[in-house]
Amino acid sequence: MEDALTIPPRKCPFDPPELMAELRDREPVAKVRLWDGREAWLITKHAHANAVLRDRRTSDDSTHPNFPSLSPGRPVPIVRRSFSRMDGREHARLRTMVTPDFSEKRVERLRPHIQQVVDRQIDHLLATDRPADLVPEFAQPISVIVLSDVIGIPRDAMGFYLDHAETLVSRTERSNKTGAADGEMSAALDALVTEQERAPGDNLIGRLVVEEVRRGRLSHDELVRMIHLLIVAGYENPANMIGLGALSMIMYPEWARAISTRPERLPALVEELLRYHSVASHDGAPRVAAEDMTLGDATIRAGEGIVVYLASANRDEDAFPNADELDLNRDARRHLAFGQGVHMCVGRFLSRAQLQISLSTLGNRIPTLRLAVPIEEIPFREDMHSYGVHKLPVTW
C-alpha cells in the first residue's frame, strides 16, 4: 500500500482523474491510506460498485469511527446526522416519510410548474446584459426555486440557505467554518419548522407536521435535520448538472440539436449526461463493512471503510463501451450517478425532470448559445464535493 491517497486534478474537466482509470484496470478493489492516516478500500469498477451499494452488509452510518472520507473538507462524522447516513429501520422510517413528495408520479404533476420556472428564468436571462453567467442566472435559480416550493422554504430566504450549502459542500473549508454554517442553517430551519408547526403550509414541511409530527411519529429535531439534508443535497447536484449539461450542449452541437429536436430521446440523453458527468464524485459513496465480505480478489473485514468512486464506475468500459465518449444512442440507465440500493438518491426523479426541462427549453429558446470565454478560463468545482462549474459566461 502506498502513501496517503491523493486525488490529482482532472487533466480534462469532463473526465475523472486518470488515477481512477489506472486503478480500475490494475486494482479495482484497492486498499488505500486516506488523508487522515486511516485505511479504506477504494472501489473503481462498475460491477464491484453496484455490488457494494446494493449489499446490506455495508453500513452508511457516519458515526462509525472508520466511516471514510477522501478529503478533509467535510467533518466526519457529519455534524448533524441525517437519515441518509443511517441504516435499517431508522433509515427506512425517515426515508419513507419524504418519499411521496419526490415520487415519480408526484414529479410528473410538477412538470408544468418546473416548465414555468424555467421559462421565467430564460426570460430573465434574455433580458440581462451579455455576456451572462449561466450559473447564477439560470442553473442555480431553477434548482433553488423548484426545491424551495416543494419543501416549503420562502423563496426570499433561499439565498441564505444556498450560501450555507456552498460552505457545507466545500472540500477546502476548515471544519470550524463548516460547523458554524451547519449550526446557523439548523437554527434557521428550527425557526421555520416551529412556524409551520403553528400554521402548516401546503408543502413537504407542512405535510410532515400534520401527518407525522402531530401524531408523534417524527420529532421536531428529526424534521429539522431532514430538511437540512434535502436542501444541501437537493440544491447542489441538480444545479451543477444543469450547468454541466448546458456546457456539454455548447461543446457538442449535436447534443444541443438532439436535446432540442428529439423529445422522444430526451430522457435517454439526460441519463447519458448523468453517467458522463457524475457530479457526486469527489468523495464517492462512503460505506463501512458491517460483516466480512469478499469482493473480487479482496476480503473486506467487518469495520473496514469502503469508498465507491462513482465517476470511475460510470466510466467502466466493461459496463459502457467507449465510456469516455458522450454517446447520443447509448442506453445509460445502468449508471450509478444517483447511487444504488436502499440509499439511492430520493430526489432522482425531480433531478431528472429539472434537467430534461431546463436543457430542452434552453436549446429551443437560445439555439445560438455559446461560450463568452475560452473553455480554459471556465472555473470548475474541483474544490467542492459536488462537481460542476463555478461560473459559465455565455453569449448568444
Q: Which residue has the higher pLDDT, 359 or 1?
A: 359
In this prediction, residue 168 carries a pLDDT of 83
In this prediction, residue 73 carries a pLDDT of 56
In this prediction, residue 330 carries a pLDDT of 96
Range list of H helices, the chain: 18-26, 46-54, 88-98, 104-127, 134, 140-151, 158-168, 175-198, 204-208, 220-251, 253-261, 266-277, 310-313, 348-365
Mean pLDDT of the region 107-119: 98
Is residue 336's pLDDT more than 90? Answer: yes
Mean pLDDT of the region 344-368: 96
Q: For 72-106, write each residue's pLDDT tens digit.
A: 655 434 444 678 888 999 999 999 999 999 999 99
Q: Is there a domain that residue 5 lies in?
A: no
Q: Which residues contact 308 (CB under 8 A, 6 or more apart)?
A: 43, 49, 52, 53, 284, 285, 286, 287, 336
Structural domain boundaries enclosing 252: 18-395
Q: Is there a domain that residue 1 lies in?
A: no
Q: Is there a domain that residue 3 lies in?
A: no
Q: Is there a domain that residue 331 lies in?
A: yes
Give CA–CA dist 225/319, Å, rounded: 36
Q: Is there a domain that residue 6 lies in?
A: no
In this prediction, residue 77 carries a pLDDT of 40
Amino acid (1-letter code) at residue 187: A
Q: For 197-253, write each residue's pLDDT tens digit.
A: 999 999 999 999 999 999 999 999 999 999 999 998 888 899 999 999 999 999 999
Mean pLDDT of the region 298-327: 96
Its pTM stands at 0.93
Could you write out the DSSP letters of every residue in 137-187?
Answer: IIIHHHHHHHHHHHHT--GGGHHHHHHHHHHHTBSSS-HHHHHHHHHHHHH
In this prediction, residue 256 carries a pLDDT of 92
Mean pLDDT of the region 339-356: 96
Answer yes or no: are the C-beta atoms of 142 and 240 closer than 8 Å.
Answer: no
Give CA–CA dist 214/23, Å, rounded: 51
Mean pLDDT of the region 344-350: 95
Is residue 296's pLDDT more than 60? Answer: yes
Give CA–CA dist 355/139, Å, rounded: 10
Mean pLDDT of the region 115-128: 96
The three cell numbers of residue 145 are 426555486
Mean pLDDT of the region 129-157: 94
Q: Is there a domain that residue 9 lies in?
A: no
Q: Is there a domain that residue 13 lies in?
A: no
pLDDT band at 384 (very low <50, low <70, confident <90, very high): confident
Q: Name all contacts of 187-191 with Cβ < 8 Å and 24+ positions apart.
A: 188/157, 188/160, 188/161, 189/224, 189/227, 189/228, 189/231, 190/220, 190/224
Summary mean pLDDT of the chain: 91
Give CA–CA dist 193/290, Å, rounded: 35
**Edge-to-edge, what's the strand order for the sheet holding 305-308?**
29-33, 39-43, 305-308, 285-289, 58-59
Taking the alpha carbons of 319, 321, 323, 325 in that order, is the dihedral positive or negative?
A: negative
Q: For 7-58, write each residue's pLDDT tens digit.
A: 666 778 888 888 899 999 999 999 999 988 899 999 999 999 999 999 999 9
In this prediction, residue 79 carries a pLDDT of 40
**Count of domains in the chain?**
1
Find the CATH number of the domain harbouring 385.
1.10.630.10
- Beta strand 305-308 with 39-43 is parallel
What is the maximum span of the chain, computed from C-alpha positions, in angstroms? 59
pLDDT band at 164 (very low <50, low <70, confident <90, very high): confident
* Per-residue CA distances from 158 to 74, 124, 236, 260 (Å): 22, 18, 13, 30
